Every structure is written in C-alpha cells, then in structure tokens.
Amino acid sequence: MKAFINSFRNKFLLIIITIGIFAFIPNYSANAGIYSSNINCDDLFIDETQLIDNVKNKSNMDTIVKLDKHMTFVHEVDIKTSPDKIWDFLININENYSVWHPKDHILFQWTKGAPFETGSTFYAEQYMMGEKVKYNGKITESIPGEKITMTFSFPLSLITEKIEMIIENKGTYSTFKHITYMKFKFLSRTIFKKQNIKMLNDMDSHITTEGGNMKRILES
C-alpha cells in the first residue's frame, strides 16, 4: 500500500509540474502595445500615451493585476511605407527573421506550402524569457497585403488561440498590427499567475522590439 501511495504521489506531482510548465510557455508577436481583455478590464491599463518613434502604447503591462480566461493583446506601429513593402518583408521571413529581432530570433523555415499561404506550416526557434524554444505553426488565413492568421501546435496551443497580423493602408503611411489571442485556464490564472504575468511583460518587450525594428528597416 505504501508503494502504491508513493507511486500515486509521484505521478500526481509530475502532472502538476507538467501543467505548470505548459501554463508558463509563452507566444510572441510584433510591436508596442494596446492591452485589452474581452472581459471588463478598465482597471488593468493606463491611458493611451505616445512613445518615441510613433509607437503607440495603450497599456502599461506592469498594471496587469489579474488574468482572465480569454485575453487579447494588440500591438501596433505606424510605418512610413506602403502595405506592399510590409507584406514583402513578411513574405521573406526566412531571410528577415533574424534582423526582425536579432537577440531572440534564431530560425524560421516553411515545412509545407508557400510563404504565408493559407494551409502552409512552419517551424521556428527563438528565445523566450531567456530559454530556447522550438515550435510549429500553421497559417489558417491569408489575405495578401492585408492579413495573416496563424495557430500553433501543442504545447503553445494550450495558452495561445491564434495570432493575427494586419496591415492597414493609411495613405501616407501604413499601420502594422499584431494581435495575440490568449487563454488562461484555472491553474494558469491562480497557481501560475505570477509566472504568466511575467511572461506577458516579456512578450510585450519582445513585440515592441520587433515593431521598432520593422519600422527602422522599412523606413531606412
């Protein structure tokens, strides 16, 4: 009986640790940000401010005090270029991946289909919170010059529903939006809340850097 109890306890701890790891794994995106939750979150972010280089930030990630079941994070940057130039930058992501974020991005390659074509799949490697992470993804929607939607395989799919990249033509400039749709189950919102809030801050910093780099590259 004692051996059975010890075996059960060890298996239970392994399950808890595994859930904790999966609740901690982040996903990423592309520039300064607006945070908004699908549930009432007026108390979670500060008023919109204007940062350097025309990077809009409608949320200070440090003000997040709770996690909801479903949360949406919108990052955007205005770039003095055409939508076609932004699309061309994305289409050539194999070559542009490392310059998009030299510190964190390691490798990006297509495993099936043409670049950012609906149904295409990819494999990527990058650093997340200082750790090297490998993951796979799929393009579920693609409108050339306008929109890309992607999903991720397990375990990223546990907290990341999808990512959308939207290009808006504003005439003399274009706005690039990166929208991350996330989900946090009970343990992610309670036991692992602190780790996940830290992950969101790291994600915000990563996305801000991506957007700033894209702006610098395409405006130079």
pLDDT digits (tens, 9 = 90+) for 26-58: 333 333 333 433 222 233 232 223 333 333 344
Which candidate, 83, 98, 101, 85, places its Cα nearest to that of 146?
83
Does pLDDT of 111 surpass 50? yes
Read off the pLDDT band of 2 (50, 70, 90): low
Contacts of 167 (CB under 8 A, 6+ apart): 83, 86, 87, 145, 146, 147, 174, 175, 176, 177
The boundaries of the domain holding residue 87 are 2-219
Terminal Cα-to-Cα distance of the chain (whole angstroms): 71
What confidence score (pLDDT) does residue 62 get? 54
Does pLDDT of 108 surpass 80? yes
Structure tokens at 215: 């702006």
pLDDT digits (tens, 9 = 90+) for 137-166: 999 999 999 999 999 998 888 889 999 999
Does pLDDT of 18 surpass 80? no
pTM over 0.85: no
Domains held by the chain: number: 1
pLDDT digits (tens, 9 = 90+) for 120-129: 999 999 998 8
Which candidate, 186, 176, 185, 181, places its Cα nearest to that of 203?
181
What confidence score (pLDDT) does residue 97 get? 97
pLDDT > 70: what percent of the chain? 71
**81-97 mean pLDDT:** 97
pLDDT digits (tens, 9 = 90+) for 169-190: 999 999 999 999 999 999 989 9
Does pLDDT of 115 surpass 70? yes
Does pLDDT of 94 surpass 70? yes
Read off the pLDDT band of 87 (50, 70, 90): very high
Here the CATH number for the domain that contains residue 140 is 3.30.530.20
What confidence score (pLDDT) does residue 167 get? 98
State how far the Cα of 170 lies from the Cα of 54, in Å rounded to an integer.
Answer: 14
**103-116 mean pLDDT:** 97
What average pLDDT is seen over the chain? Answer: 78
Does pLDDT of 13 surpass 90? no
